[in-house]
Structure 1
Amino acid sequence: MMEALTKDVIFKKSPQELTALLYEGIIDNLEQAIELINEKSYVQANAKLQRTNDILHRLGIGLKYEAGPIGQQLDMLYNYMADQIIIANVKKDASILRDMITLIEPIIQAWNEILKKKVNVSQSSAVQKVSAYENSIMRVQN
């Protein structure tokens, strides 16, 4: 499940980490909506699906089209998913929602992998800076 999002937690997150949280929110809401549809709790499922479409809308707003064709492709994907979620909501069709999870999971996995590599890169950069600092201290002391 998603961690509790307090203002403090949100302000400490990078934009990339916030995107990862939004992706996690999509999966959580879709999985819960599937369960709720299966339980015939349609009003609650509707709320989860509306929340999912809100997240997709926010992700679409955050796209940078000048970064190349991937921005346009993600926009088309988010719009397609939002349309399919509306159809699933109207039809109360959990299979469409499972398809949407299958569709977005590889993107989420890729995003999280990139985040891990960025963390490793920034950690190694920090180690290099500390090493450079230590070396300069050692030279001054000698």
Structure 2
Amino acid sequence: MDFLTEEWIYQKNSQQLTALLYEGLMECLEEAIEAIKQKDYWKANKQLQKGNDILRRLGAGLRYDAGIIAHQLDAIYNYMAERLIEANMKKDVTAVREVLQLATTIATAWNEALKSGVSPVQSAHKQKAAAYEQFIAYER
């Protein structure tokens, strides 16, 4: 993801940036797996730390007003981060693969939601607004 420019990034909305973070996370994990296999532990350490940094950023970007899904994602991100720390200490490819599988599943679901064009948060806000508006009395 070295091709990213600051201007290009500023043109993305928050959902697209989240998709980029997922992509970056998966790339880091794949590189970490290869580095561990090649016994390049310095590179593996660097990639696993990057992965944890991305997970921290994903967690910081959660909007808890979106509902239970935000709390569930927070728990998953925390679990993934803990597994990456364990994997880094033990240089455990299996743990990294587990986190990669979780990240791939979440990223796939996220990208499918992006394709549908409707943000779950926008949809929830519209439903709340519609429920509120039905009780408003209009004066003419």
- Residues 23-82 of structure 1 show CA distances to partners (whole Å, capped at 9, x for unaligned) of 001100000000000000001110100000000000000001111111110000000000
- Residues 6-34 of structure 1 show CA distances to partners (whole Å, capped at 9, x for unaligned) of 10110111111000000001100000000
Q: Show the counterpart of 1:75.
A: 74
- Residues 104-133 of structure 1 show CA distances to partners (whole Å, capped at 9, x for unaligned) of 2121111111111218xxxxxxxxxxxxxx
In structure 2, what residue type is equivalent to 1:41? D
Work out the percentage of aligned pairs sharing the same amino acid.
53
Q: Show the counterpart of 1:52.
A: 51
CA RMSD of aligned residues (A): 1.2
Superposition pairs of residues 1-142 of structure 1, within 5 angstroms: 2=1, 4-118=3-117
Q: Which has the larger radius of gyration?
A: 1
Q: TM-score, normalised by structure 2?
A: 0.81
Give the number of equivalent residue pairs: 118
Compare 60-69 and 28-37 and name the one that shifted more: 60-69
Higher helix residue share:
1
Structure 2: gaps (5+ residues): 119-140
Q: TM-score, normalised by structure 1?
A: 0.80
Structure 1: gaps (5+ residues): 120-142
